[in-house]
Amino acid sequence: MEATYAALCKHGYASLRMQDIADESSKSKATLHYHYESKQALLYALLDYLTDSFAERIETLEGETPADQLLSLVEHYLSPGEDDAREEFRTALLEIKAQGPYDDRFRAELTEFDRLLHGRIRSLLEAGQADGIVRRDIDPDETAEFITTVLNGAQTRHVAVDHPTDQTYAMLETYVTRELLAEDATPTEVGLE
Amino acid sequence: MEATYAALCKHGYASLRMQDIADESSKSKATLHYHYESKQALLYALLDYLTDSFAERIETLEGETPADQLLSLVEHYLSPGEDDAREEFRTALLEIKAQGPYDDRFRAELTEFDRLLHGRIRSLLEAGQADGIVRRDIDPDETAEFITTVLNGAQTRHVAVDHPTDQTYAMLETYVTRELLAEDATPTEVGLE
């Protein structure tokens, strides 16, 4: 998985070959082929692995309240790390997203990730409503869809036109604070300040 | 431009060849090469042409008020047409967005389109504030960035995981109506109902 990740970052999706993955690992191309039919099969396994890691990572989020935890999740999604490989991975992932309509396995993996992200956001909003921190007149499911869409857009604009993801983070922080928090929840109470 | 558009929709970005474009036009591959150095040059010209068309198209928007016009713009961006070619174009465009970090001309064209969209949304929000329809305590520039990010996300999720764009339209309509309209502007007054 590490070798596939490294090779994908280095070469991008379109020009990636099995040999590039072998070059990043201690295994030969023949050995890789013994376990995985094609570079596609390795990429499916990689997306599956990354989704599982993400699921584990976002199970426990920093923050005192669900609102804080939501912002931790947003921050983690938007700036998972500062190294170059992460930048290149975002770009390769956008290439893979563009394969969605043509490749059912990619679409299935991408859909699983999308549902995981959406579901986690929804459950945080529901927990916030139960705690009285989040407005009860918002629909947690639709709002989670909205935030998931914003997060996708932030990644796309970052890759396409170098739009800074920290600007999206700031906009989402404003959105959460102004539009989603219950009126009687003070910033201190919800731990945002 | 029509032939380039048709060939791009049919073959996608990665596997597009000059011959594919010639096949869609009345010109030979040699004639195309006489005018355009490469398929890249044709694609740059296509993006430039599409940006100009979009600019012209959104100069006049349906709707009585800036808030209505904003929703017309959103609707036009999210569902420009129902035919298959549009679907395929969205996918090809996502592939091209993934080239942003590697291709300066693509990035320049994509940036021009992004600025055009953002600028039009901002000017509608400013006009709405001048008319007293849009809340004065929102920042038109930041809010326009937010909406531009949402629109990018809607396209990406649609291509990647088949998320319905009309759901994003509904979410943006709620966002505009609930969060951006001035409190004393009734739905009837702004023409939304």
DSSP state of A181: B
Yes or no, beta carbons of B110 and A160 under 8 Å apart: yes
> What's the CATH number of domain A58-193, 1.10.510.10, 1.10.357.10, 2.60.40.10, 3.30.365.10?
1.10.357.10
Q: Where are the beta strands (DSSP E) in chain A?
A: none
- Return the CATH architecture of domain B64-193: Orthogonal Bundle (1.10)
The reported pLDDT for the residue numbered A87 is 83
| Among the partner residues A111, A152, A175, nearest to B156 by beta-carbon distance | A152
Question: Quick one: pLDDT band at residue A77, thresholds 50, 70, 90?
Answer: very high
- Burial of B153-185, coded b for 16+ CB within 10 Å and e otherwise, reads bbbbbbbbbebebebbbebbeebbbeebbbeeb
CB A100 within 8 A of CB B162: yes
Do the chains contact at A97 and B150, CB–CB below 8 Å? no
Among A78, A106, A104, A79, smallest CA distance to A93 is for A106
To the nearest whole Å, the CA of A80 is away from the closest chain B CA by 18
Q: From residue A192, give the alpha-carbon distance in Å to each of A76, A185, B22.
A: 16, 11, 58
* B77 alpha-carbon distance from chain centroid: 5
Instruction: State the nearest Cα–Cα gap between A178 and chain B, in angstroms.
Output: 9
Residue A40 has pLDDT above 80, yes or no: yes
Shortest distance between the Cα of A165 and any Cα of chain B, in A, equals 10
Q: What's the CA gap between B72 and B121, in Å, rounded?
A: 11
- Nearest Cα to A109, choosing from A97, A121, A94? A97
Mutate to test the interface with B, among A93, A157, A174 (most CBs of B within 10 A): A157
Q: In sequence order, what DSSP letters do the residues of B145-178 get, joined into one string?
A: HHHHHHHHHHHHHHHHH---HHHHHHHHHHHIII
The pLDDT value recorded for residue A80 is: 64
B62/chain A closest Cα distance in angstroms: 25
CA-CA distance, B25 to B23, in Å (whole number)? 6
Question: Which residues from chain A sit within 8 angstroms of residue B161, using beta carbons?
Answer: 100, 107, 110-111, 114
Beta bridge partners of A134: A181
Whether the per-residue pLDDT at A187 is higher than 60: the answer is: no
Q: Which fold has domain A1-49?
A: Arc Repressor Mutant, subunit A (1.10.10)
Query: What value does the mean pLDDT take over residues A42-48?
Result: 94
Q: What is the pLDDT of residues A15-34, one digit of tens each?
A: 899 999 999 999 899 999 99
Contacts of A149 in chain B (CB under 8 A): 150, 153-154, 157, 163, 168, 171
As a whole number, mean pLDDT of residues B17-36 equals 92
Q: What is the 3-state secondary structure (H, E, C) of A23-61?
A: HHCCCCHHHHHHHCCCHHHHHHHHHHHHHHHHHHHCCCC
Integer Cα distance of A147 and A152 in angstroms: 9
Where does the pLDDT of residue A14 fall: very low under 50, low under 70, confident under 90, or very high at 90 and above? confident
What are the domain boundaries of chain A? 1-49, 58-193
B48-105: pLDDT as tens digits: 999 999 999 999 999 999 999 999 999 999 986 666 668 889 999 999 999 999 999 9
* pLDDT exceeds cutoff 90 at A183: no
Pick from B91, B154, B174: CB nearest A149: B154
> What residues does B181 pair with on adjacent strands?
B134
pLDDT tens for each residue of B2-16: 999 999 999 999 889
Q: How far is A77 from chain B (nearest CA, A)?
A: 14
For A136-182, the pLDDT digits (tens) are 999 999 999 999 999 999 999 999 999 999 999 999 999 999 889 99
- What percent of chain B is predicted at pLDDT more than 90? 79
Instruction: Please identify which residue in the block is written with the tokens 């991975």.
Output: A89
CA–CA distance, A150 with A134 (Å, rounded to integer): 19
Phi, psi of B48 (to 5 degrees): -60, -45
Q: Does domain B1-57 have CATH number 1.10.10.60?
A: yes
Residue of B125, B116, B118 lying closest to B149 (CA atoms): B118
Is A111 close to B161, i.e. CB distance below 8 A?
yes
Residue A192 has pLDDT above 70, yes or no: no
Measure the CA–CA gap between A132 and B108, rounded to whole angstroms.
47
Q: How far, CA to CA in Å, does A89 sit from each of A14, A38, A125, A146, B178?
A: 13, 20, 29, 24, 37
* Angstrom distance (rounded) from CA A167 to CA A65: 23
Please say if the pLDDT value at position A193 is more than 60.
no
Q: Which of A94, A114, A170 is facing B97, going by the closest CB pair? A: A94
B149/A157 CB distance under 8 A = yes
Q: Residue A181 forms beta bridges with which residues?
A: A134
- Inter-chain touch B152–A160, beta carbons under 8 Å: yes
Partner residues linked to A190 by β-bridges: none
Residues of A in contact with B100 (CB under 8 A): 91, 159-162
Among the partner-chain residues A110, A146, A171, the one whose CB lies closest to the CB of B142 is: A171
**What ipTM did this prediction achieve?**
0.90
Residue percentage of chain A with pLDDT more than 70: 92
Q: Among A67, A64, A90, which Cα is nearest to A77's?
A: A90
Residue B19 to residue B28: CA distance in whole angstroms = 8
* Per-residue model confidence as pLDDT tens digits over A123-132: 999 999 999 9
**Amino acid residing at B149:** T
A149–B153 CB contact, under 8 Å: yes
pLDDT score of A190 more than 90: no
Q: Report DSSP state, residue B42.
A: H
